[in-house]
A and B are shown apart, each in its own frame.
Chain A
Amino acid sequence: MNLALLLASLASAIIQDLPGISSTIKQIIADIAGSLRAVVGSGIVHQVTPLNVYMALDGVLSQLIQDPNLPQAKLEVVASLLDAVQAAIAADKQAQEGMDPDKIKPIEPLP
């Protein structure tokens, strides 16, 4: 699966479901998603690495969370997504430093 689709689908979901956000933020998200698609489609790369996608997502969400028009309920959701993306960035950087199989552990489902 092309991970660029992750950014495209997330950006689309945010734009579609948050009509209160400013046109500037919408434009930023659209520009970033468009740029990523352009890079992927240019033939220069065959695959964008997960870290690049996470970094782009981090940029999108960091801008979005500053929008004063964002409702409180959505602010908490965006903050949670931002936490998840930043956790993934930290984990990816840690993973590149060296393998430790003991760090790959099962996760308990949410009851």
Chain B
Amino acid sequence: MHHYQGRTRTRVRIPLVVALLILTLSSAACHKNVIVPIPGQINTFDGTSYRYLMDAQAALNSVRDDAANDKIKLDDTSKSLLNNAIASYNVAQDAWHAYHSGATIDTAGLQSAISAMVRDVNNLITRIASSKVTGGGN
């Protein structure tokens, strides 16, 4: 009886997780036009670029630390992809600092640098999720 109830709860819980995620995404869709400015931004593009850089920096540092501490084992290709992503991030953060400080108004250059960074982070994450990367204990 209890075993059956436990299985029932499990069957209910998993679709519930999916439903909540769909609701989260749908909710985000409804509020798409509401862009909350970040205090200190010079314009929306500046603020969006700052968020991308903060996110990428945190994710890259996390992966880099895990690799440096042997929590995950990167093969040569994966390590190269990590360093490519780091290099792209470094270019983008230089471009953002120049833009944010007013040293340049080159939005196209910053946009291009951010796009390259996102592409390289995407390539890295896809590689890590593949079978080419294993845990450090293996």
Contacts and interface: CB of A to CB of B under 8 A. Distances in A.
Could you say which interface size class chain B belongs to?
A: 35 or more
A76 to B, nearest CB: 3
Given A13-B129, A72-B135, A98-B39, A87 B32 contact: no
B128 A81 contact: yes
A35 interface: yes
Nearest to B28: A52
Specify the main secondary structure of chain B where it touches its partner.
Answer: helix
A87 B62 contact: yes
Interface string A74-111: 11110111011101101110111111110111111110
Contacts of B83: 109-110
Contact of A109 (B29, B52, B71, B86): B86
A64 to B, nearest CB: 10
A5 B122 contact: yes
Interface of B: 14, 17-18, 20-22, 24-26, 28-30, 32, 36, 38-41, 47, 50-64, 66-68, 71-72, 74, 79, 82-83, 86-87, 89-90, 93-94, 96-97, 100-101, 115, 118-119, 122, 125-126, 128-131, 133-138
A51 to B, nearest CB: 8
A105 B71 CA distance: 24
A104 B57 contact: yes
B47 A99 contact: yes
Leading 4 A-B pairs by shortest Cβ distance: A76-B135, A99-B40, A91-B58, A87-B58
A103 B51 CA distance: 11
Contact of A39 (B25, B53, B97): B25
Given A39-B26, A95-B51, A99-B39, 13 more contacts: A1-B122, A17-B129, A17-B130, A24-B14, A50-B52, A72-B138, A73-B134, A77-B134, A77-B135, A80-B135, A87-B61, A91-B59, A108-B86
